Homo-oligomer: A and B are copies of this chain.
Amino acid sequence: MAEQNPVKFGILGCAEIARKVSRAIRLSPNSTLYAVGSRSVEKAAKFAKDNGFPDSAKVYGGYEAVLDDPDVDAVYIPLPTSMHVKWAVLAAQKKKHVLLEKPVALNVKELDVILEACESNGVLFMDGTMWMHHPRTAKMKEFLNDPQRFGQLKTVQTVFTFAADPEFLENDVRVKPELDALGVLGDAGWYNVRACLWAFDYELPKKVTALPGPVFNKSGVLVSCGASLYWEDGKVATFHCSFLSTLTTDVTAVGTKGYLRLHDFVIPDEEDKASFFTCENPGFAELQRGVVADRNEHVVATDLPQEVKMVMEFSRLVGIIKAEGGKPEKKWPTLSRKTQLVLDAVKTSIEKGFESVELIS
């Protein structure tokens, strides 16, 4: 296959997270920062200058101008969630591949409009869940799939919390009812739900039940909540997400023969390597005087940060479509949709006073 031209990215908006993804595009060998649009052209120009865009980059005083630029191959959309359906659909209609920040939509009905637009226009859809692309994630999956070391997965517990200040809790985009009505559930909870689905090989749970004790801010947006996810045969996961506790990003997965845990699953402590911990076939010592266990820390090095790996994978798939035609990869939209379905069920369960919600895919 001939060397592919780098995928030319346009960015819609100058959100904080767009700084990180701009760097990732810049560091990605098969991608290039090509354009940025903001409501004001000055803001776009400043963003381009501050974030390493080449001098040749296009700077637009609006989002639509980015989509109208015929040289833009793909867009990264870090806009508030309530704007996703409008701009992702428009991007797809203009034949731009879509890298969409999470949460991808306010509900699965909106997401289906986006996914239908991407599919009918033959463009790739991927959400911005960076940790999926770290080489650690594949290594952990090898462990979970090992019938001797891990056995059959039985339960997952995961927490993603970080302590927001009072200003954030009232005014951040992520807690504004008109911008991100899912609040912490869409922000931190997205990762917890994805981790549970990932561990259970993306099998949707049969039932989702919110935990008691969700907390809302003054505008009625969730700032702390949790849920249990139930599969058959007693397989169950629980998660807790919150803007009210200190930073934790833990996953523990327990199987019939071993278990896995990690403590920085969303963003690894360090950019060039990440750890996970396993325990294989542990047992009590004689008289239960201790535990005999094969406990190990596994360090997985990475040549590039996980967000660069994400952009590279996105651009690799775009490159295949550009070079060979054919339909976009279905894997990533399917994972986004399953994650959204579970988020919707958690929200419904909270609204119905913690009733159990059956999931229909």
- A residues near B (Cβ < 8 Å) are 17, 19-20, 23, 151, 154-155, 157, 159, 161-163, 207, 209, 211-215, 224, 226, 228, 230-231, 233-236, 238, 240, 242, 244-250, 252, 254-259, 261, 263-264, 267-271, 279, 281-284, 287-291, 293, 305, 354, 356
When the two chains form the complex, which single residue of B231, B255, B269, B281 contacts A290, counting CB atoms closer than 8 Å? B269
Is the CB–CB distance between B258 and A246 below 8 Å? yes
Give 3 closest A-B pairs by Cβ, nearest first.
A215-B234, A212-B230, A247-B282
Is the CB–CB distance between A236 and B250 below 8 Å? no
Is the CB–CB distance between A242 and B252 below 8 Å? no
Is the CB–CB distance between B209 and A354 below 8 Å? yes
Is the CB–CB distance between A267 and B238 below 8 Å? no
Q: How far is the CB of A351 from chain B (nearest CB, A)?
A: 16
Is the CB–CB distance between B254 and A270 below 8 Å? no
Is the CB–CB distance between B213 and A234 below 8 Å? yes
Is the CB–CB distance between A246 and B282 below 8 Å? yes
Is the CB–CB distance between A215 and B233 below 8 Å? yes
Q: How far is the CB of A78 from chain B (nearest CB, A)?
A: 13
Is the CB–CB distance between A20 and B288 below 8 Å? yes
Is the CB–CB distance between B240 and A211 below 8 Å? no
When the two chains form the complex, which single residue of B20, B23, B157, B231 contacts A157, counting CB atoms closer than 8 Å? B157
Is the CB–CB distance between A246 and B281 below 8 Å? yes
Is the CB–CB distance between A252 and B159 below 8 Å? yes
Copies of this chain held together in the complex: 2
Is the CB–CB distance between A159 and B155 below 8 Å? yes
When the two chains form the complex, which single residue of B224, B245, B259 contacts A246, counting CB atoms closer than 8 Å? B259
- List B contacts of A268 (CB < 8 A): 290-291
Docked complex Cα distance between A258 and B213 (Å)? 21
Is the CB–CB distance between A230 and B207 below 8 Å? no
Is the CB–CB distance between B228 and A163 below 8 Å? no
Contact A236:B213 (CB < 8 A) given known A245-B155, A247-B283, A268-B290:
yes
Q: A209-B211, A263-B279 are in contact. List 5 more A-B contacts (CB 8 A).
A: A155-B245, A157-B157, A211-B228, A246-B258, A268-B291
- List B contacts of A289 (CB < 8 A): 20, 267, 271, 305
When the two chains form the complex, which single residue of B20, B155, B284 contacts A247, counting CB atoms closer than 8 Å? B284
Is the CB–CB distance between B287 and A23 below 8 Å? yes
A sample of 21 inter-chain contacts (CB < 8 A) reads: A154-B244, A157-B252, A161-B254, A162-B284, A163-B256, A212-B230, A212-B356, A213-B234, A213-B236, A215-B233, A226-B236, A236-B240, A240-B254, A247-B283, A247-B284, A248-B259, A248-B279, A267-B289, A267-B290, A268-B290, A289-B305
